[in-house]
C-alpha cells in the first residue's frame, strides 16, 4: 500500500520504519524542504522517498499526520480528499495554546482536524503510545491476545478496517474506541492514554474514561 | 432488569439473556468491543445505579456475565440510579 506520512519526528519516523519494513511504499514529509529528509529516507531504504506534505497526501491511500496540532491549519485540504487520514496527534494546551472548543469538550482534537479536512476519511490512532514502545513492542508473529493494544477511532468503518489491518501488520492490535465524537476516550489524561495493555484491558480502560 | 437482560438488549439479541453465566464478556467469549462495553455499562448504571467503571478500577467485574452480575448485585443500593427507581 502507498502511505503518506506528514511529520518526520519520533512517531512519524518510527511509523515510516515499521511500514516500509512491512512492505509498504512511504512518502515522508516534514514542514520544511523535502531535501532536509534526504538522510532519513536513505536510511529507510528504496520503499521510502521524501515529499512535501501535499505530495505525501496525494501519494498515500493512507496518510498519517504526526505533526503538532497547530500545524494542521497549514495543510492544504485538497490533496487529502478521499484519503484515509490517521491523526496521531494530541492537544497539549501548553504547546498548542488554548482552544476553547477543545477545552469545553465540544469538539475532540481529531474532530477539529476533520473539520479542516472535510473530504478526508479521518481516523485517530497512534496518539496514545510512546514512540519507543511503538518502535520496540510490535510483535507481528504473536497472537492478538499477546499484543499491545492501539486504540483507534473514526466515523468511516471501512477506513478503520484498513487501519486495523495496518496496525496488525506492524505487530499491534487495534481496539475500537468508537466514532470521532467518542475519541476523547483516548485523548491525554484518560485511562488508556499511555497504557501498556492488551486489547481486553484497553477495552475496559476506554469504557472507564470520564470527562 | 437483570444483567443478562441488559446484555441482551444492548446486543439486540434476546438469546443473549440465556447465555451461560460463565461466558467471558471480552476475548474468548462474547468479544465485546469497547463501544459495546461503554453502552453496556451505561445501561447497567441507568438500570441499577451501579457505576461499574467508577467502582471497579481494575474492571475485573467484566470478566464474565457472572462476575458482572455479582458485582452489580453487591453494589445495588450504594448509588442513586440515573432514572427511575433503584432496586435494593
What pLDDT was estimated at residue B60? Answer: 86
Inter-residue contact A163 to A152 (CB < 8 Å): yes
Task: Give me the mean pLDDT over the A180-199 stretch.
Answer: 96
Mean pLDDT (chain B) is: 88
Under the banding of pLDDT at 50, 70 and 90, the label for residue B82 is low
Separation between Cα atoms, residue A76 and residue A70, nearest integer Å: 14
In sequence order, which residues have a C-beta less than 8 Å from that of residue A189 and are 6 or more positions away?
none
Task: Please give the CATH superfamily to which domain A2-208 belongs.
Answer: NAD(P)-binding Rossmann-like Domain (3.40.50.720)
A58-77: pLDDT as tens digits: 999 999 999 999 899 999 99
What is the percent of chain A where pLDDT is above 70? 100
Of A185, A203, A205, Cβ closest to residue B33: A203
Q: Is the pLDDT of residue A32 over 70?
A: yes
Mean pLDDT of chain A: 96
pLDDT of the residue at A103: 95
Alpha helix ranges (H) inside chain A = 10-21, 38-44, 53-59, 93-96, 100-103, 109-116, 131-136, 157-169, 199-208
Q: For residue B32, what is the nearest residue in chain A, using CA coordinates? A: A203
Residue of A144, A184, A190, A203 to mutate for B, most B C-beta atoms under 10 A: A203
Tell me the domain boundaries of chain A: 2-208
Q: Structure pTM?
A: 0.91
The angle, 0 to 180 degrees and rounded to 10, between the axes of the packed helices A199-208 and B34-48 is 40
**Between residues B28 and A28, which one has the greater pLDDT?**
A28
Binned at pLDDT 50, 70 and 90, residue B86 comes out as very low
Residue B88 — pLDDT band, cuts 50, 70, 90? very low
Task: Classify A68 as helix, strand or coil.
Answer: coil
- B87 confidence band (pLDDT: 50, 70, 90): very low
Measured CB to CB, residues of chain A less than 8 Å from chain B are 144-145, 151, 175-178, 182, 185, 199-200, 202-208, 210
Average pLDDT, integer, range A145-155: 97
Q: How confident is the model at residue B56 (pLDDT cuts 50, 70, 90)?
A: confident
Among left, alpha and beta (phi > 0; psi -120 to 50; other), residue A30 is beta
pLDDT band at A119 (very low <50, low <70, confident <90, very high): very high
| Inter-chain CB proximity A203 and B41 less than 8 Å | no
pLDDT of residue B80: 54
Percent of chain B with pLDDT over 70: 88
Q: Which residue of B has its CA nearest to A178?
A: B35
Cα dist from B32 to A53, A143, B35, B42, B83, whole Å: 38, 18, 8, 14, 25
**pLDDT exceeds cutoff 70 at B79:** no
What kind and span of H or E run contains B53? helix B52-55
- Find the range with the poorest average confidence among A7-11, A83-87, B69-73, B82-86: B82-86
| Other CB atoms within 10 A of residue B63 CB | 17
Q: Which domains does chain B have, with CATH numbers?
A: 3-75 (1.10.1200.10)
Residue B54 is predicted with a pLDDT of 86
Q: Which residues does residue A5 pair with via DSSP β-bridges, in sequence order?
A: A28, A64
Amino acid at each position: 500500500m502507498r502511505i503518506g506520512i506528514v511529520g518526520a519526528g519520533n512517531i512519524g519516523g518510527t511509523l515510516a520504519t515499521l511500514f516500509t519494513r512491512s512492505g509498504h511504499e512511504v512518502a515522508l514529509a516534514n514542514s520544511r524542504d523535502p531535501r532536509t529528509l534526504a538522510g532519513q529516507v536513505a536510511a529507510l531504504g528504496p520503499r521510502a522517498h521524501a515529499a512535501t506534505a501535499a505530495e505525501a497526501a496525494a501519494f498515500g491511500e493512507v496518510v498519517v499526520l504526526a505533526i503538532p496540532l497547530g500545524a494542521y491549519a497549514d495543510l492544504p485540504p485538497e490533496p487529502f480528499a478521499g484519503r484515509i487520514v490517521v491523526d496521531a496527534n494530541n492537544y497539549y494546551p501548553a504547546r498548542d495554546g488554548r482552544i476553547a472548543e477543545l477545552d469545553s469538550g465540544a469538539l475532540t482534537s481529531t474532530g477539529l482536524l476533520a473539520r479542516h479536512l472535510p473530504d478526508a476519511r479521518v481516523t485517530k490512532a497512534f496518539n496514545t503510545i510512546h514512540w519507543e514502545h511503538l518502535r520496540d513492542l510490535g510483535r507481528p508473529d504473536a497472537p492478538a491476545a499477546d499484543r499491545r493494544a492501539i486504540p483507534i477511532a473514526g466515523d468511516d468503518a471501512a477506513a478503520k478496517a484498513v487501519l486495523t489491518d495496518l496496525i496488525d501488520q506492524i505487530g499491534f492490535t487495534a481496539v475500537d474506541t468508537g466514532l470521532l465524537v467518542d475519541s476523547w476516550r483516548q485523548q491525554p489524561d484518560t485511562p488508556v492514554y499511555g497504557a501498556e495493555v492488551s486489547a481486553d484491558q484497553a477495552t475496559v480502560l476506554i469504557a472507564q474514561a470520564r470527562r | 432488569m437483570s444483567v443478562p437482560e441488559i446484555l441482551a438488549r444492548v446486543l439486540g439479541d434476546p438469546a443473549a439473556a440465556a447465555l451461560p453465566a460463565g461466558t467471558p464478556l471480552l476475548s474468548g467469549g462474547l468479544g465485546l468491543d469497547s463501544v459495546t462495553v461503554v453502552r453496556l455499562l451505561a445501561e447497567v448504571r441507568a438500570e441499577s445505579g451501579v457505576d461499574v467503571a467508577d467502582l471497579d478500577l481494575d474492571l475485573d467485574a467484566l470478566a464474565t456475565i457472572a462476575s458482572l452480575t455479582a458485582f452489580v448485585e453487591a453494589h445495588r443500593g450504594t448509588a442513586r440510579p440515573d432514572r427511575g427507581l433503584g432496586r435494593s
